[in-house]
Amino acid sequence: MQLAKFYAMTQYTALAAHIKADANLPTEYGNFRMRVFVDDEGSEHSVLSVGLDDSSTVPIVRIHSECLTGDAFGSLKCDCGPQLRASMARIQEEGSGAILYMRQEGRGIGLEAKIRAYALQDRGLDTLDANLALNLPADARKYSFCAEMLTSVGVDEVRLMTNNPLKVRGLRSNGITVHERVPHLVGRCKLNDHYLSTKQKRMGHLIPEQA
Protein backbone atom coordinates (compact mmCIF):
# COMPACT_ATOMS: atom_id res chain seq x y z
CA MET A 1 0.00 0.00 0.00
CA GLN A 2 2.81 2.40 0.94
CA LEU A 3 4.64 1.62 -2.30
CA ALA A 4 1.49 2.23 -4.34
CA LYS A 5 0.92 5.54 -2.54
CA PHE A 6 4.51 6.60 -3.19
CA TYR A 7 4.19 5.68 -6.88
CA ALA A 8 0.99 7.68 -7.20
CA MET A 9 2.64 10.70 -5.55
CA THR A 10 5.67 10.57 -7.83
CA GLN A 11 3.41 10.30 -10.88
CA TYR A 12 1.49 13.38 -9.78
CA THR A 13 4.71 15.27 -9.09
CA ALA A 14 6.03 14.45 -12.55
CA LEU A 15 2.87 15.73 -14.18
CA ALA A 16 2.58 18.77 -11.94
CA ALA A 17 6.16 19.71 -12.85
CA HIS A 18 4.80 20.88 -16.20
CA ILE A 19 3.11 23.81 -14.40
CA LYS A 20 5.56 26.71 -14.65
CA ALA A 21 3.36 29.57 -13.41
CA ASP A 22 -0.02 29.90 -11.68
CA ALA A 23 -2.01 33.08 -11.03
CA ASN A 24 -5.47 34.63 -11.09
CA LEU A 25 -6.54 36.45 -14.25
CA PRO A 26 -9.44 38.92 -14.14
CA THR A 27 -11.08 39.43 -17.55
CA GLU A 28 -14.12 41.16 -19.00
CA TYR A 29 -15.87 37.77 -18.80
CA GLY A 30 -14.99 37.12 -15.15
CA ASN A 31 -12.14 35.82 -13.05
CA PHE A 32 -10.08 32.86 -14.24
CA ARG A 33 -7.15 30.89 -12.91
CA MET A 34 -4.30 30.72 -15.44
CA ARG A 35 -1.62 28.04 -15.37
CA VAL A 36 1.27 27.96 -17.82
CA PHE A 37 2.90 24.79 -19.15
CA VAL A 38 6.01 24.24 -21.27
CA ASP A 39 6.20 21.21 -23.54
CA ASP A 40 9.31 19.24 -24.53
CA GLU A 41 9.90 21.56 -27.51
CA GLY A 42 9.86 24.67 -25.34
CA SER A 43 6.45 25.94 -26.45
CA GLU A 44 4.34 27.65 -23.79
CA HIS A 45 0.69 26.63 -23.42
CA SER A 46 -1.89 27.56 -20.81
CA VAL A 47 -5.00 26.40 -18.99
CA LEU A 48 -7.54 29.12 -18.26
CA SER A 49 -10.02 27.68 -15.79
CA VAL A 50 -12.88 28.17 -13.38
CA GLY A 51 -14.17 25.79 -10.71
CA LEU A 52 -12.14 22.69 -11.56
CA ASP A 53 -12.17 21.69 -7.90
CA ASP A 54 -15.93 21.04 -8.12
CA SER A 55 -16.06 17.23 -8.32
CA SER A 56 -19.86 17.19 -8.61
CA THR A 57 -19.85 18.13 -12.29
CA VAL A 58 -17.95 17.23 -15.46
CA PRO A 59 -16.25 20.45 -16.62
CA ILE A 60 -16.80 21.90 -20.05
CA VAL A 61 -13.47 22.23 -21.89
CA ARG A 62 -12.32 23.97 -25.04
CA ILE A 63 -9.03 23.18 -26.80
CA HIS A 64 -8.23 26.43 -28.59
CA SER A 65 -5.29 26.68 -30.95
CA GLU A 66 -3.57 30.06 -30.99
CA CYS A 67 -4.76 32.32 -33.81
CA LEU A 68 -3.03 35.69 -33.69
CA THR A 69 -5.03 37.05 -36.62
CA GLY A 70 -8.39 36.02 -35.19
CA ASP A 71 -7.82 36.16 -31.43
CA ALA A 72 -5.91 39.46 -31.31
CA PHE A 73 -6.63 41.27 -34.58
CA GLY A 74 -10.27 40.27 -35.12
CA SER A 75 -9.75 38.66 -38.53
CA LEU A 76 -12.91 37.66 -40.37
CA LYS A 77 -11.10 34.99 -42.39
CA CYS A 78 -11.87 32.51 -39.58
CA ASP A 79 -14.15 32.03 -36.58
CA CYS A 80 -11.35 31.71 -34.00
CA GLY A 81 -11.80 35.01 -32.19
CA PRO A 82 -15.54 34.56 -31.63
CA GLN A 83 -14.96 30.93 -30.59
CA LEU A 84 -12.43 31.98 -27.95
CA ARG A 85 -14.62 34.71 -26.51
CA ALA A 86 -17.75 32.54 -26.55
CA SER A 87 -15.92 29.74 -24.73
CA MET A 88 -14.75 32.15 -22.03
CA ALA A 89 -18.32 33.33 -21.51
CA ARG A 90 -19.73 29.78 -21.52
CA ILE A 91 -17.25 28.55 -18.93
CA GLN A 92 -18.11 31.43 -16.62
CA GLU A 93 -21.83 30.69 -17.06
CA GLU A 94 -21.37 27.02 -16.21
CA GLY A 95 -19.01 27.70 -13.30
CA SER A 96 -16.72 24.73 -14.06
CA GLY A 97 -14.52 24.48 -17.11
CA ALA A 98 -11.28 25.30 -18.87
CA ILE A 99 -9.74 26.58 -22.06
CA LEU A 100 -6.54 24.87 -23.14
CA TYR A 101 -4.82 27.62 -25.12
CA MET A 102 -2.33 25.81 -27.32
CA ARG A 103 0.52 27.53 -29.16
CA GLN A 104 -0.30 25.76 -32.43
CA GLU A 105 -0.76 28.68 -34.80
CA GLY A 106 -2.28 27.82 -38.17
CA ARG A 107 -3.31 24.29 -37.11
CA GLY A 108 0.30 23.68 -36.14
CA ILE A 109 2.21 25.08 -39.14
CA GLY A 110 3.21 28.40 -37.55
CA LEU A 111 2.44 32.04 -38.26
CA GLU A 112 4.74 32.56 -41.26
CA ALA A 113 3.42 29.52 -43.09
CA LYS A 114 -0.15 30.43 -42.20
CA ILE A 115 0.18 33.90 -43.77
CA ARG A 116 1.81 32.37 -46.83
CA ALA A 117 -1.19 30.05 -47.05
CA TYR A 118 -3.47 33.08 -46.72
CA ALA A 119 -1.74 34.60 -49.75
CA LEU A 120 -2.57 31.46 -51.75
CA GLN A 121 -6.14 31.64 -50.51
CA ASP A 122 -6.30 35.19 -51.84
CA ARG A 123 -5.54 33.66 -55.25
CA GLY A 124 -8.42 31.19 -54.99
CA LEU A 125 -7.13 28.10 -53.14
CA ASP A 126 -9.12 26.83 -50.18
CA THR A 127 -7.61 26.42 -46.71
CA LEU A 128 -6.69 22.77 -47.31
CA ASP A 129 -5.19 23.12 -50.79
CA ALA A 130 -3.19 26.19 -49.72
CA ASN A 131 -1.41 24.14 -47.05
CA LEU A 132 -0.80 21.25 -49.43
CA ALA A 133 0.57 23.62 -52.09
CA LEU A 134 3.20 24.67 -49.54
CA ASN A 135 4.04 21.00 -48.85
CA LEU A 136 2.55 21.36 -45.38
CA PRO A 137 0.09 19.06 -43.59
CA ALA A 138 -3.59 19.96 -43.49
CA ASP A 139 -3.48 19.74 -39.70
CA ALA A 140 -0.24 19.23 -37.75
CA ARG A 141 -1.72 19.45 -34.25
CA LYS A 142 -1.25 16.77 -31.60
CA TYR A 143 -3.28 16.29 -28.44
CA SER A 144 -1.10 14.24 -26.09
CA PHE A 145 0.17 17.34 -24.27
CA CYS A 146 -3.41 18.58 -23.92
CA ALA A 147 -4.20 15.39 -22.02
CA GLU A 148 -1.12 15.87 -19.81
CA MET A 149 -2.19 19.41 -19.00
CA LEU A 150 -5.69 18.28 -18.06
CA THR A 151 -4.34 15.51 -15.86
CA SER A 152 -1.97 17.96 -14.18
CA VAL A 153 -4.88 20.16 -13.11
CA GLY A 154 -6.87 17.16 -11.86
CA VAL A 155 -9.19 16.64 -14.82
CA ASP A 156 -9.70 13.26 -16.48
CA GLU A 157 -13.32 13.66 -17.64
CA VAL A 158 -14.63 16.46 -19.85
CA ARG A 159 -17.46 17.74 -21.97
CA LEU A 160 -15.56 18.95 -25.01
CA MET A 161 -16.62 22.14 -26.76
CA THR A 162 -15.62 21.52 -30.39
CA ASN A 163 -16.77 20.90 -33.96
CA ASN A 164 -13.69 18.81 -34.72
CA PRO A 165 -13.94 15.02 -34.13
CA LEU A 166 -10.12 14.77 -34.16
CA LYS A 167 -10.00 16.63 -30.85
CA VAL A 168 -12.42 14.15 -29.30
CA ARG A 169 -10.36 11.21 -30.56
CA GLY A 170 -7.11 12.94 -29.55
CA LEU A 171 -8.17 13.25 -25.92
CA ARG A 172 -9.74 9.80 -25.71
CA SER A 173 -6.65 8.14 -27.17
CA ASN A 174 -4.58 9.83 -24.46
CA GLY A 175 -6.67 8.69 -21.51
CA ILE A 176 -9.21 11.51 -21.09
CA THR A 177 -12.89 10.51 -20.94
CA VAL A 178 -15.02 12.69 -23.23
CA HIS A 179 -18.61 12.36 -22.07
CA GLU A 180 -20.09 14.70 -24.65
CA ARG A 181 -19.16 16.78 -27.68
CA VAL A 182 -20.68 20.24 -27.28
CA PRO A 183 -21.12 22.03 -30.66
CA HIS A 184 -19.36 25.38 -30.82
CA LEU A 185 -20.88 27.30 -33.71
CA VAL A 186 -20.21 31.03 -33.54
CA GLY A 187 -18.61 33.71 -35.71
CA ARG A 188 -19.74 32.58 -39.15
CA CYS A 189 -19.95 35.41 -41.67
CA LYS A 190 -19.81 36.01 -45.41
CA LEU A 191 -16.02 36.37 -45.40
CA ASN A 192 -15.33 33.00 -43.70
CA ASP A 193 -18.22 30.96 -45.07
CA HIS A 194 -16.03 29.24 -47.68
CA TYR A 195 -13.36 28.50 -45.06
CA LEU A 196 -15.92 26.83 -42.79
CA SER A 197 -17.54 24.95 -45.67
CA THR A 198 -14.11 23.55 -46.61
CA LYS A 199 -13.56 22.36 -43.04
CA GLN A 200 -16.97 20.69 -43.10
CA LYS A 201 -16.73 19.09 -46.57
CA ARG A 202 -13.05 18.21 -46.78
CA MET A 203 -11.75 18.00 -43.19
CA GLY A 204 -14.60 16.27 -41.38
CA HIS A 205 -15.63 19.09 -39.05
CA LEU A 206 -19.20 18.86 -37.78
CA ILE A 207 -20.42 22.18 -39.11
CA PRO A 208 -23.90 22.39 -40.66
CA GLU A 209 -24.37 24.01 -44.04
CA GLN A 210 -25.33 27.64 -43.74
CA ALA A 211 -29.07 28.16 -44.23
Q: Which residues are catalytic?
A: 139, 141
Please choose, from the candidates 114, 110, 125, the residue with its C-alpha nearest in 3D space to the C-alpha of residue 194.
125
Please choose, from the candidates 30, 46, 162, the residue with its C-alpha nearest in 3D space to the C-alpha of residue 99.
46
Please choose, from the candidates 176, 170, 172, the residue with its C-alpha nearest in 3D space to the C-alpha of residue 59.
176
- Cβ neighbours of residue 102 under 8 Å, at least 6 residues apart? 45, 63, 64, 65, 66, 141, 145, 146
> With b meaning 16 or more CB within 10 Å and e meaning fewer, what string describes 25-46?
eeeebeebbbbebbbeeeeebb
Please choose, from the candidates 14, 4, 48, the residue with its C-alpha nearest in 3D space to the C-alpha of residue 148.
14
32: left (phi over 0), alpha (psi -120 to 50) or beta: beta
Please choose, from the candidates 91, 108, 96, the residue with its C-alpha nearest in 3D space to the C-alpha of residue 153.
96
Contact call for residues 198 and 207 (beta carbons, < 8 A): no
